Structure 1
Amino acid sequence: DLGLGGFTNWFMAQYEEELFHAKKIMKFIYNKNGRIEVKSVAAPQNNFNSLLKAFETTLEHEQEVTTRFYNLMDIALEEREHATKSFLQWFIDEQVEEEATVGDMINKIKIVKDSGLYLLDQEAAKRNFNAPNLG
């Protein structure tokens, strides 16, 4: 806990974006007359020895999510499920942005080191997520 509220804001905006993604997936499944079964999810790691480690762990997670979307896309292509393919393409494109955003923050943290974290925290404080309409 370094008292860097801007980074807290950054991760809260990320949380809001991920929640929107979950709702988007649930709506698609519902629209395809699928069945949604919500299961428990293990709590993520929330104690890091550095800000850099927190972002590196976030990037690893985003890369894992990307791999899962690729696997789903492979199945959709194999099954010739064109609507699902279109839907998944949006998420694959989104993952490019997700990984780039986290990667950029990692690079900035490495460049500024501890002496510049305050200014970087001010930048992180400006991040917000305004969920588009699920349609």
Structure 2
Amino acid sequence: MDQKVYELLNDQINKELYSAYLYLSFADYYEDEGLTGFANWYMIQAAEERDHALIFRNYLLDNSCKVQLKAIDQPDKTFSAYIEPLEAALEHEKYVTSLINDIYSAAHDVKDYRTCKFLDWFIDEQLEEEATADDMITRMKLFGQDAKALYELDQEYAARTYTTPSPLANAE
């Protein structure tokens, strides 16, 4: 595997684990605010991000590459309004999309089509992640100022359940 592609893939493990930490901090904020449904949503997001890290780890191991785990930065966001974590999530997902695009570009440049194919799932996933984050912002703007509507939205997010991402489920 090309050294640059390897380094970007290995770094992505750390970035995905940071995403899990970040979303855990969002869950903590909503838990403190009494919005346990929103907290549930972000606990599941944190689990998904951890799983994304494992998918990258497995890919490196399947390609006989050494995994080098790095320190995970502490999330530094603080919030004073319910919409702020949602906006931070959309911003973060756009950042993750740029990281995936950078890895894809580097792999394509060296004709590493196996890695390009591997990244196709993440490209689709990022489209979904950004669309969902954008939808959550829209819904908060529409319903967040009405206590009953906010309660119903919180109940909807409380019903979300965890699903193992397909690349990880298929590896088992």
TM normalised by structure 2 equals 0.75
Quote the residue 2:156 is aligned against.
Answer: 123
Structure 1: unaligned runs, 5 residues or longer: none
Q: How many residue pairs end up in the alignment?
A: 135
Code of the aligned partner of 1:122: Q
Give the 5 Å matches for 1:1-135: 1-45=32-76, 47-115=78-146, 116-131=149-164, 132=166, 133-135=169-171
CA distance in 1, matches of 2:151, 2:87: 19
Aligned-pair distance for 1:44? 1.5
CA RMSD of aligned residues (A): 1.2
1:7-53 deviation per Cα after TM superposition (whole angstroms, max 9, x unaligned) = 11000010111111111110000001111111112112353111210
SS of the residue 2:49 aligns to: helix
Structure 1 vs Structure 2: percent identity of aligned residues?
A: 37
Structure 2: stretches of 5+ with no match in the other structure:
1-31
Q: Which amino acid aligns with 2:83?
A: L
* Partner AA of 1:128 in structure 2: T
Confirm or deny: 8 A CA contact 1:6 1:124 kept in the other structure.
Answer: yes
Q: Which has the higher contact order (CA 8 A, sep 6+)?
A: 1
Answer yes or no: is the 8 Å Cα contact 1:76–1:82 preserved in 2.
yes
Give, in whole Å, the separation in 1 of the partners of 2:155 and 2:76. 24
| Structure with greater proportional helix content | 2
TM-score (structure 1 length as normaliser): 0.95
Q: Once the 2 structures are TM-superposed, how far is the Cα of residue 127 of structure 1 from its aligned partner?
A: 1.2
Tell me the amino acid that sits aligned with residue 63 of structure 1.
Answer: K
Off by >4 Å, runs of 4+ in structure 1? none
